[in-house]
Amino acid sequence: MTTNALPAKPWAVTSRTIVFGAVGAALYGALGVLSFIIPGTANVALRPALAIIPFVGIRFGPIAGFFTGLVGNAIVDQIQGFGFLTYWNWSLANGLIGLIVGLLAHYTREPAKDSRRVVWVAVISIVAVVVGLLFTVTDTFLGSTLGAWFTTAYLPAIAGTALVSVLLVPVLDKAWQPLANRAGR
């Protein structure tokens, strides 16, 4: 039995929503040190920490997922020196990934079989990444053209984030399940 880990109401904000969202954001910031540039590309970085956002969205709800993506990305920018408002739209896009994946997890049926659940987690994560990162089209407000945004920002970002989501989110989810069950969540 695993569905008990999901919050009963997707929009409910409890102390758990805030704490898990904050832990997710801190993990996103701290695990940023494990990022690396994909060889052969100019500036396409793979952030393994991105897997935290869909994981939090799926297991702790859309609000916690949104908080993790928004605040986590903003804190990484803050620590790197940009200030959290410079790439506000990317922070919001990351927040949307957490929100969308949380809603998808809540409103779609979670398979009981382990193998199918792995596929379910990966698929809803990718859908959320593809839809959520569309918000970065707001880069065009700062002078980027639609074509340049699509080829140099959106496509590399969804490729990297989707790869991380497929490889890490199901593993995180599988590792979390026994502990969630033991805690009665």
Partner 1 sequence: MEAPRYLAGDSFLGRRDPRVLILVPALTVVTVALIQDLRLMTVAAVVALGYYALARIPFRAVRANWAFVGVFVLLLAGINGVIAGAQEYGGAATELFSIPVLDVPVSTASVSYTITMLLRFLAIAATGFPLAFAVRPGDLAVAFARFGVPSRFAYGIDLTFRFIPTVSASLRETTAAQRLRGYEVSKTRNPIRRLEQIRPLVVPVTVSAFVDAEDVADALDLRGFGAQRRTWLRTLRFGTSDFVAIGLFLIAAIAATTATVSHRMPGLWLW
Residues at the site binding partner 1, with contacts judged by CB under 8 A: 13-16, 18-23, 25-27, 29-34, 36, 38-40, 42-43, 46, 48-49, 51-52, 55, 67, 71-72, 75-86, 88, 141-145, 147-148, 152, 163-164, 167-168, 171-172, 175-176, 179, 183
Question: Which one, 66 or 120, has the nearer CB to partner 1?
Answer: 66
Question: Which one, 51 or 100, has the nearer CB to partner 1?
Answer: 51
Question: Which one, 97 or 109, has the nearer CB to partner 1?
Answer: 97
Least spacing, CB of residue 15 vs partner 1, in Å: 4
Least spacing, CB of residue 85 vs partner 1, in Å: 5
Least spacing, CB of residue 2 vs partner 1, in Å: 15
Let me know: does 177 contact 63? Beta carbons within 8 Å. Answer: no
β-strand partners of 46: 36
Question: Which one, 85 or 155, has the nearer CB to partner 1?
Answer: 85
- Rg (the chain; Cα; Å): 16
Least spacing, CB of residue 108 vs partner 1, in Å: 22
Let me know: does 127 contact 100? Beta carbons within 8 Å. Answer: yes
Question: Which one, 89 or 130, has the nearer CB to partner 1?
Answer: 89
Least spacing, CB of residue 158 vs partner 1, in Å: 15
Distances (CA, A) of 85 to 70, 75, 89: 11, 10, 8
Distance CA 32, CA 12 (A): 29
Question: Which one, 107 or 143, has the nearer CB to partner 1?
Answer: 143
Decide: helix, strand or coil at residue 19.
helix
Largest interatomic CA distance in the chain: 51
Nearest to 47 by CA among 10, 94, 87: 94
Least spacing, CB of residue 30 vs partner 1, in Å: 4
Cβ neighbours for 120, distance < 8 A, ≥ 6 positions apart: 108, 110, 111
